[in-house]
A and B are shown apart, each in its own frame.
Chain A
Amino acid sequence: MTDASLPKPRSELGEILYHLVRDPLGLAGLIIVLAILASAVLAPWIAPYDPVALNVPDRLQGPSAAHLMGTDQLGRDTFSRVIWGGRVALQVALPTIGGAIFFGLLLGMIAGYGPRWLDNLIVLLFDTIRSFPTVMFALAVVALVGPSLNTVILVIMVTSIPTYGRVVRTLTQSLREAEFITAERALGASTARIMGVHLLPNVLGPLAVLAAMDIPTVVGLEAGLSFLGMGVKPPTPSWGSLLNDGYNLIRNTPWLIIAGGIPLILTTVGFTFLGEALRDVVDPKLRGKGGK
């Protein structure tokens, strides 16, 4: 047997994808997530109507060929608002999770690798932030400074940092005395190099799983705040504001609340499936065993 006859080794990403698509739940999650991402990115091209253009004479129409999900009380096309609402959801979720991962990584690695007093200080900070109920904290901040997309992103990001920071801290602490880190240290590697080159890649996998599982939570939180009128400002479409419109008209026009609820359900299902499958893939002990 020659080298050419051996199967070409897959890259790490390829390996993950390979295992993901072989898992039915992972495949379903991936398809749903990709569909949500695609519809959000392509919203300007695939939404049939301007999501904020008023057309009051056509208000509260039922689903039809012209308006797949009917129209709201201002005659706006609900389907277009659902698609554009996905963009808002991801505009909140991605920077929020991204920011929380960045600061969580930074603080978690410093806490896990740094001196004891710094660890105590950072853990105290995490515990302080986590002691606030997220929704109540978000409502209080929004009530003080007024609702806006940026406020929502900032509030959810800050309250999410401890989740990532604690995971990173624990992983870092378990790795700092590992033989390969001790060896690096003995060879004179700087702290920055040890953290950036050796620790970071080892903690990213679990964080990716956590992030995938967290996205529905963040999307749900944004929708919740927008439902209460504390999220994005009108007339920006948001799944939460769609739910609010639908709730107010639930007895007259139930399709509005259904239209607002479906994408939230799909997002939760999609990212949860994907997160579960990712967890199985990145954890070698679970890989190929169908999870638990």
Chain B
Amino acid sequence: MNGANISWTRVGLPRRSFLRGASALGGLAAAGLLPARWAQAAGGTLRTRTYADIRSMDPAFSQGVVDEEIHAAIYNKLIQYKPGREWGWQLDAAAMIEQADDTHINFALRDDIGFTNGFGAMTAEDVKFSFERIIDDALESTNKPDWGPLSHVEVTGERTGTIVLKNAFQPLWSITLPYIAGNIVSKAAFDSVGGKIDTQPVATSGPYLHAGWEPKQKTTLRRNPDWKGEAAAFDEIQIYHIDDEKAAEIAFEAGEIDFTRVSLDSVERLKSNPIAGATLEEFPSLYYVWVGMNLDNPKLGNLKLRQAIQHAIDVPTIMAAAYFGAAEPSTGIIAPGLAGHRDAPLTGVAADLDKAQALMAESGEAGVSLAIDVLNKSANVTAAQIIQANLAAIGITLEIRLHEGATFWELGSNEDLELVLNRYSMTPDPYYATSWFITEQAGVWNWERFRSEEFDKLHLAAQSEGDPAARAAMYARAQDLMEESGAYKFLTHEATPVIYRNSVTPALRPDGLPLYRYFGTA
């Protein structure tokens, strides 16, 4: 469960202890001795912002953080991410959960969680249904990989069961259970609508109810009056769809929203001219940004040429101009704090022009003309222009091709792809990062067509490796292999600056993403 550099703490009490403590906590709250989050709900409305519209309220078809921000508030999981600066989890629907051995995880559900719309109490059958449907080929869930080697869930009692894996799977505790695939839905509710849903939940169980969705405008969550857990802090949460970060900042300054991520270029301004009654906080991000080179393209077939490109790119300049000094250079695809994070990349961070020129000379290439495909976002365009200037210094002409989202995300299957400036999202386990670069993913998400038997083996072995140090070493070696191929120049993990009104106590993951169910009032 533990990575080399990450401590997965477990917060929460067994059910009996929880009940014993509840009355005491209530008394303290009444006496005003507890922070508001622990006291009775303060009421009011939390207005926040999401950068995209929802895609599905079915966890099997959740498209990532946008959907999950809502799912985490309206559904329950056995465990949830713990808000704070360090990755960890805490109990949610589980009163108890323990790893019996490498492939068996026993759990016991709380007895006070019920589904809305009369679908009854949450049982182990619901857990079995929720998890097994995701790995059912017939359902074609987009989130099947998150469940890794799940074999089945054994129901041992009304509220007890055992998750049975085919082999050990370390990401279970960091990705599967506390994230998208860990949401528990009502079997009876889903059966009543044919087994799957779209954008309208049929029954929920969390501290908030899904009260409405106005496409491209907002999602409204309302306090669940039947929720027996820690009281929800707000009567209502309104999540506005504001695509543009600048527009969100203006909305925040105008008092229209209470919490939003802000753009990196605004950090300096917001630090020097703070908004009254608001707090700016910076979080490291897990995203990874890199320059990829298509190994199947004959124009990039020369290893020395690729290495010359790796050494010519000046990452600190990109950090200064494209990320306004608010992000740090990365060393690979695994961010600091996660197992396998490397202290330094093999090809350095700053450009080494002498080495790049020497490698160009060794390559025997001259008059090289290449193209880099870039998603049309401000930071990307700026970074691409720096890379263009960097490569010009070693005699490579680089054309910048800008794309809108729809065309950019189709490029993976384009065999003529040359260079690409890419950015993938990430979950707090290195398994998630390496999964996109295995041979099987070549031409799908592995746009560089990087193929390495050793890498594939490391990816498979590391997901089961129980020794944190050994696991970390495996992921570090996997990133070495990526870099040694000459197909990658790692740039940054970016950063997540957020701003919130002081009347709100945000509950954020260590990467700055919100956990609305735990938001409180200050």
Contacts and interface: CB of A to CB of B under 8 A. Distances in A.
A143 B249 CA distance: 29
Given A147-B402, A229-B376, A251 B407 contact: no
B158 to A, nearest CB: 55
A279 to B, nearest CB: 39
Interface string A118-150: 000000000000000000000000010011000
A230 B388 contact: no
A73 B382 contact: yes
26 contacts: A54-B321, A56-B317, A56-B320, A56-B321, A59-B320, A73-B265, A73-B382, A75-B321, A143-B406, A143-B407, A147-B401, A229-B402, A229-B404, A230-B376, A233-B399, A233-B401, A233-B402, A234-B381, A234-B384, A244-B378, A245-B378, A248-B263, A248-B378, A251-B249, A251-B266, A252-B268
A249 B400 contact: no
Contacts of B378: 244-245, 248
Nearest to A54: B389
Given A234-B381, A234-B384, A146 B401 contact: yes
Which of A235, A244, A250 has the largest count of B CB atoms less than 10 A from its CB? Answer: A235
A251 B385 contact: no
Interface string A246-286: 01111110000000000000000000000000000000000
A235 B404 CA distance: 18
A44 to B, nearest CB: 19
A234 B265 contact: no
A250 to B, nearest CB: 7
Interface in B239-269: 246, 249, 263, 265-266, 268-269
Contacts of B388: 234-235
Contacts of A74: 321, 382, 385-386
A234 B402 contact: yes
Given A54-B389, A74-B321, A234-B400, A247 B268 contact: no
Contacts, number: 65
B386 A56 contact: yes
A73 B321 contact: yes
B320 A252 contact: no
A33 to B, nearest CB: 31
Contacts of A147: 401-402
Interface string A214-251: 00000000000000111001110000000011011111
Nearest to B389: A54
A251 B246 contact: yes
Contacts of A247: 246
Contact of B321 (A59, A143, A235, A252): A59
Nearest to A250: B246
Nearest to A139: B404
Contacts of B382: 73-74
A234 B385 contact: yes
Nearest to A244: B378
Nearest to B318: A56
A229 B381 contact: yes
Interface in A71-94: 73-75
A229 B266 CA distance: 22
B246 A143 contact: no
Contact of A252 (B266, B399, B403, B404): B266
Given A143-B404, A147-B401, A233-B402, 5 more contacts: A56-B317, A75-B321, A143-B406, A234-B381, A234-B385
Report the 5 A-B pairs with minimum CB-CB distance, sorted nearest first: A229-B376, A248-B378, A229-B402, A234-B400, A54-B389
Nearest to B320: A56
A235 B401 CA distance: 11
A54 B389 CA distance: 8
B443 to A, nearest CB: 21
